[in-house]
Amino acid sequence: MESQDLKKAGLKATLPRLKILKFLEASQVRHMSAEDVYKAMLENGDEVGLATIYRVLTQFEAAGLVTRHHFDEGHSMFELNQGSHHDHILCVKCGRVDEFMDPVIEEQQHKIAEAKGYEMTDHALYIYGICPNCRKSGKK
Amino acid sequence: MESQDLKKAGLKATLPRLKILKFLEASQVRHMSAEDVYKAMLENGDEVGLATIYRVLTQFEAAGLVTRHHFDEGHSMFELNQGSHHDHILCVKCGRVDEFMDPVIEEQQHKIAEAKGYEMTDHALYIYGICPNCRKSGKK
DNA sequence: GTTGGAAATGCGAAACTCTATCATTTCACT
DNA sequence: AGTGAAATGATAGAGTTTCGCATTTCCAAC
Ligand SMILES: [Zn+2]
Ligand SMILES: [Zn+2]
Ligand SMILES: [Zn+2]
Ligand SMILES: [Zn+2]
């Protein structure tokens, strides 16, 4: 029962919030913009106002249900928090997104923050490149 | 003579481009938005249209003269390419920006890209935290 | 040094993503 | 069911960046 998840997160269990949460859980695509969610839900017959999508995703982020990424400038990408923390490697040709987690990098980041006197709160790491498929097909 | 630098970069040596390049070289602040550049140049008495600032900075980026960063969502930050490659650690309270370069992380990134079958073209790493000054003054 | 044409600039309008406003609806609790 | 607080939807607006086009500037050939 997803309404329990929302209550636990301190959010009233409204129909739009339930629909959005269900949609994210059912989606095959793990990383989506607000607009992506809006359009995909429309096609599913679940119409929720775009402003509400933005509001709810921001609330989900604050509640720790989703994570916001900035793969490229222009728009935020959202991802339901299911697995554990990971970073992303992105194809600059086709937009494919893969995930990875590197304990060495994670640890180095903390060391760097410490060396600079910072109290680290977050980090973002994006590797850009050409994915295996695009390399094969020689897209330009 | 900066006009040689522009010619070498494949750009016609126009007055606005020369002014912008000189300004970037003279600026104490290393990371600036297009709007920052526009306003600072205005105060210097060097008026260049905002659209031109955007165009020229984008051309400078393509020519390898500057690097574009996405410290936070909303607007691009530009930095003149002078030293060597580095990444950034940012204060979430005051906006301070520090730089670092970690050979271990750099190498791990290549390994990850290789393991995933990607041909790596670029990467972005931002560490967010609270800087030494803000920790001391206990800003919230 | 003029001149001609390609390229760059400046201005305003427009695109794009996201947020604010506010009347209306929905939710949670008696 | 009734009540008040909170959420939603539609639209307007804000902030950043790009576009379109008339005018100006650059540069190389005369
Ligand atoms: Zn690809
Ligand atoms: Zn992910
Ligand atoms: Zn600070
Ligand atoms: Zn820098």
CA B25 to C1' C4, whole Å? 35
Q: What are A10-39's pLDDT values in tens digits?
A: 899 999 999 999 999 999 999 999 999 999
Domain boundaries, position A37: 2-80
DSSP strand pairing (B119-130 vs B87-91)? parallel
pLDDT band at B5 (very low <50, low <70, confident <90, very high): confident
Mutate to test the interface with B, among A57, A89, A107, A137 (most CBs of B within 10 A): A89
Considering only residues B54 and B5, tell me which one the structure prediction assigns the higher pLDDT.
B54
Q: What is the CATH number of the domain that holds A129?
A: 3.30.1490.190
Task: Mark whether B8 and B62 lie in a shared domain.
Answer: yes
Does B140 have pLDDT greater than 50? Answer: no
Q: How far is the CA of B113 from the centre of ligand 3 (A)?
A: 33
Backbone φ, ψ for residue B136 (5° rounding):
-65, -50
Q: Which pLDDT belongs to residue A140?
A: 47
What does the alpha-carbon distance between residue B37 and residue B137 come to, in Å, rounded to a whole number?
Answer: 30
Contact B127 A119 (CB under 8 A): no
Q: How many distinct structural domains can be found in chain B?
A: 2
Task: Mark whether B29 and B64 lie in a shared domain.
Answer: yes
Task: Mark whether A22 and A41 lie in a shared domain.
Answer: yes
Task: Mark whether B127 and B95 lie in a shared domain.
Answer: yes
Backbone φ, ψ for residue B77 (5° rounding):
-115, 140
The 3-state DSSP class for residue A88 equals strand
Task: Mark whether B55 and B111 lie in a shared domain.
Answer: no
What does the alpha-carbon distance between residue A40 and residue A36 come to, in Å, rounded to a whole number?
Answer: 6
What does the alpha-carbon distance between residue A19 and residue A13 come to, in Å, rounded to a whole number?
Answer: 10
Mean pLDDT to the nearest integer, A57-63: 97
Q: Which pLDDT belongs to residue B108?
A: 97
Q: What is the CATH number of the domain that holds A28?
A: 1.10.10.10
Task: Mark whether A13 and A62 lie in a shared domain.
Answer: yes
Task: Mark whether B94 and B54 lie in a shared domain.
Answer: no
Residue where one domain finishes, among candidates A33, A49, A80: A80
* Strand C contact at CB of residue B47, distance < 7 A: yes
Beta-carbon count within 10 A of A21 CB? 22
Mean pLDDT to the nearest integer, B36-56: 97
Task: Mark whether B44 and B113 lie in a shared domain.
Answer: no
Please name which of B6, B107, B100, B14 lies closest in space to residue B60, comparing C-alpha atoms: B6
Nucleotide nearest to B15 (CA to C1'): D25
Q: Read off the pTM.
A: 0.92
Does B41 have pLDDT greater than 80? Answer: yes
Task: Mark whether A28 and A94 lie in a shared domain.
Answer: no
Mean pLDDT to the nearest integer, B68-83: 94
B92 in A contact zone (CB under 8 Å): yes
